[in-house]
Amino acid sequence: MTKVLLTGGAGFIGSHTGLTLLESGHQVVVVDDFSNGSAEAMRRVAELAGLGPWRQASTEHWTAADPEGGRLTLIRGDVRSPQDLDRAFTVDGGDISAVLHFAGLKAVGESMTQPLRYWDVNVTGTVRLLEAMGRHGCQTLVFSSSATLYGTTDQVPIPETAPLQPINPYGYTKAAVERLLTDVAASAPGWRIALLRYFNPVGAHPSGRIGEDPNGLPNNLFPFLCQVAAGRRRHLQVFGGDWPTPDGTGVRDYLHVMDLAEGHGRALDLLLAEPPQRLTLNLGSGRGHSVLEVVQTFEATNGLRLPYTVVARRPGDSAVSVADPREAERRMGWRTRRSLADICRDGWAWQSANPQGYRSAEKEPIGELIRAQHGS
C-alpha cells in the first residue's frame, strides 16, 4: 500500500483524485489551507471511500481509517510553511512515496490584480514543497499544470510540443513551475516528475456528493452555468458570438473530472513503476465543444432551460483550445471515457443536490464539523 501526499487535496480536482487513489488502495495524506477547498469535501470523500470514523490527533490533524489499512489523513496547513509540510511528511509514521501538487491559485483575472500573491503561492509554494521533499527523501511528483501555457494559439489540436506562450500572471506562474521542475529533474538523479497540462476539467463525481464549489462569482463556464440552472444566477453571458467557429462561440476541450482523476492515478503508477523520468502530458479529450453546444447538451440531458445572452468577447480568450491527447494514451494508456452528456448529468447531480455547494456545512470549524457529523 503506497502512501501519497496531496497538496490542495480538499479542492475540486484534488478531492476527486484523492477518492480515486483511496479506491485503488493508496493511503492519502491531504495538506490544505481551505482557502479554496473544503473540510466538508474531505468528510464526503472519506464517506464515499468507506472510511471512518474521524479521529482528531491534534488541533490541525484528523484521520479517517478502515480495518483493512485504508487511511485518509487531513492536515490544515499552507504549502509555503516548512513546518506544515514537515508535519504532512511525518504524520502517521511518514514514508510518503509521492506528492501530487494541486495547491495553487487559479483565477486568471485575479492573477492580473494580485500578481505577487500568485507568484508567492504558486511558485514559492512549489519551492518550499521541493525543499521539504528533499528533507524527507521523496523524489516523485505529479504537478497540476495547465493548457493555459499554450496561450491563444491557432493550432488545433495542440500537442505538448507547441510553443509555450502564457499571457497572464497565472499562466506565467505555471510556466515558471514547469521550468523549475525541469531544472530540478536535471539537477540530480532519481527524480520522477509528471507535468500534467489540464484542458477544461468539469463535471463531478456521479454520486453528486462532491463537485466544484468556487468561491464567489465563478469565472469559468461550467460552474457558472450550473449556478444559473440552480437559480443562483439569473442568466449566462456567452462571451462572443463572432468567433471563427461553426456556431460563432468559443470551442474548448472539456474533460470529466473523474477522467482527470484517473489520469493522475495512471501518471502516479507509471512514475513509480518506471525508471526516473520527467513526463509532460496533455490531459484532454481531444474533442472540442462550443459554448452553445455545452448549453444545449446541459438542457437536453437535464430537461431544463438555461437563459443566456450573447455579449462581447472576453479579453484574453481564444477561438478554439483542444488537446492532442495521444501522448497520454501512448505513455500511460489513458484516454477520456466520459462524454459531454455524462459531464452535464453528473455536474447537475452535484449542483442540484448542493445548490450552495459545501457552504451550509462550512459554517462550522473543521473539527466540530467532523465531530458533529460522525459523533466521535
In the chain, the amino acid numbered 277 is: Q
Q: Residue 168 corresponds to which cell in the numbers above?
A: 497572464
Between 53 and 214, CB nearer to ligand UD1: 214
Least distance CB 201 / ligand UD1 (angstroms): 6
Q: Which residues pair with 256 in a beta bridge?
A: 202
Between 291 and 369, CB nearer to ligand UD1: 291
Between 210 and 257, CB nearer to ligand UD1: 257
Taking residue 62's Cβ as centre, other Cβ atoms within 10 Å add up to 25
Least distance CB 283 / ligand UD1 (angstroms): 12
Q: Which among 170, 172, 198, 358 is annotated as catalytic?
A: 170
Query: Measuring CA to CA, how many Å separate 147 from each of 39, 157, 212?
Result: 28, 12, 19
Least distance CB 74 / ligand UD1 (angstroms): 25
User: What residues line the site for ligand UD1 (CB under 6 A)?
Assistant: 108, 146-148, 170, 200, 219-221, 224, 236-239, 250, 252, 291, 314, 316-317, 321
Strand bridging mode 98-101 / 3-7: parallel
Between 75 and 175, CB nearer to ligand UD1: 175
| DSSP conformation letters of 287-354 | --EEHHHHHHHHHHHHT----EEEEPPPTT--SEE-B--HHHHHHH-------HHHHHHHHHHHHHH-
Closest to 160 (Cα-Cα) out of 266, 283, 254? 283
Q: Are 267 and 279 in contact (CB under 8 A)?
A: yes
Query: Measuring CA to CA, how many Å separate 146 from each of 171, 200, 254?
Result: 8, 9, 13
Between 207 and 219, CB nearer to ligand UD1: 219
Let me know if 170 is a catalytic residue.
Answer: yes
Please compute, for residue 151, the number of CA atoms within 13 A of its CA located in the half-sphere on the CB side: 11
Between 70 and 151, CB nearer to ligand UD1: 151
Least distance CB 256 / ligand UD1 (angstroms): 13
- Distant-in-sequence, close-in-space partners of 143: CB < 8 Å, separation ≥ 6: 101, 126, 177, 178, 181, 193, 194, 195, 196
* Residues labelled as active-site residues: 170
